[in-house]
Amino acid sequence: MIQAGTLILTLWTLYPLPKGSYAGRAQGASMAKCDYCGSTILFGGKRQGGLRFCNATCSARGALLAVSRQMPQSIVVESVQRIHQGPCPKCNGSGPVDVHVHHRVMSFLVVTSWKSTPQISCRSCGTKSQLGDAAVSLVLGWWGIPWGLVMTPVQIGRNVYGMFHGPDPAMPSPKLEQAVRMHMASQAVAQHQAQKAASAGTQSS
């Protein structure tokens, strides 16, 4: 049984959203979508065959996509509905619970770093995180040339958009289903690797 609290930890390692940085040189601009997490690729990205990923982490974990698509739909739907209608893992308040993304940018003269962080929580907790990152970006985002000036309004705009256009409370979002699928896939891979290691240990003894 998958709990929302477990998925919070899973999001950081299995469902990352893009981070970016600039230090003296611009990367090529792009508006493609990451084939792993579905996020917009503003700059750069990684290619793997015919697929494109927002960063090296998504590229390395892209193999889990095939495993996640083999998860039984009935089990996925049951787990998604349980999490969506369950209590918020951050405040323990009532749901619905879904994936809310907050965005931050920070600049230090010639270095600008930005990131987008997914969070499984209720709408209220999601809005608080978006407000917090918008405030940090407003204060610390501008102090880099040129990308601090570029990315600060982008990240603030993303937070504002997320506050007013969050997931539909009547039904789970595709991002929540994707997080559940990827969590189940990681568990299946880990179990398979543990079985292989146990089998190899038995044969060697």
- Secondary structure in 3-state letters for the chain: CCCHHHHHHHHHHHCCCCEEEEECCCCCEEEEECCCCCCEEEECCEEECCEEECCHHHHHCCCHHHHHCCCCHHHHHHHHHHHHHCCCCCCCCCCCEEEEEEEEEEEEECEEEEEEEEEEEEHHHHHHHHHHHHHHHHHHCCCECCHHHHHHHHHHHHHHHHHHCCCCCCCCCHHHHHHHHHHHHHHHHHHHHHHHHHHHHHHHC
Q: Where does the pLDDT of residue 41 fall: very low under 50, low under 70, confident under 90, or very high at 90 and above? A: confident
Is residue 6 over pLDDT 80? no
User: What's the pTM value of the predicted model, to 2 decimals?
Assistant: 0.71
pLDDT > 90 in the chain, percent = 46
On average, the pLDDT of the chain sits at 81
What's the distance, CA 48 to chain centroid?
A: 20
Higher pLDDT, 59 or 10: 59
Mean pLDDT of 169-196: 87
Residue-level pLDDT at 169: 94
Residue-level pLDDT at 20: 54
Residue-level pLDDT at 158: 95
Selection from 48, 35, 60, 80 nearest residue 183 by Cα: 80
Q: Where does the pLDDT of residue 69 fall: very low under 50, low under 70, confident under 90, or very high at 90 and above? A: confident
Task: Indicate the residue type of 12.
Answer: W
Residues 95, 84 contacting (CB under 8 angstroms): yes
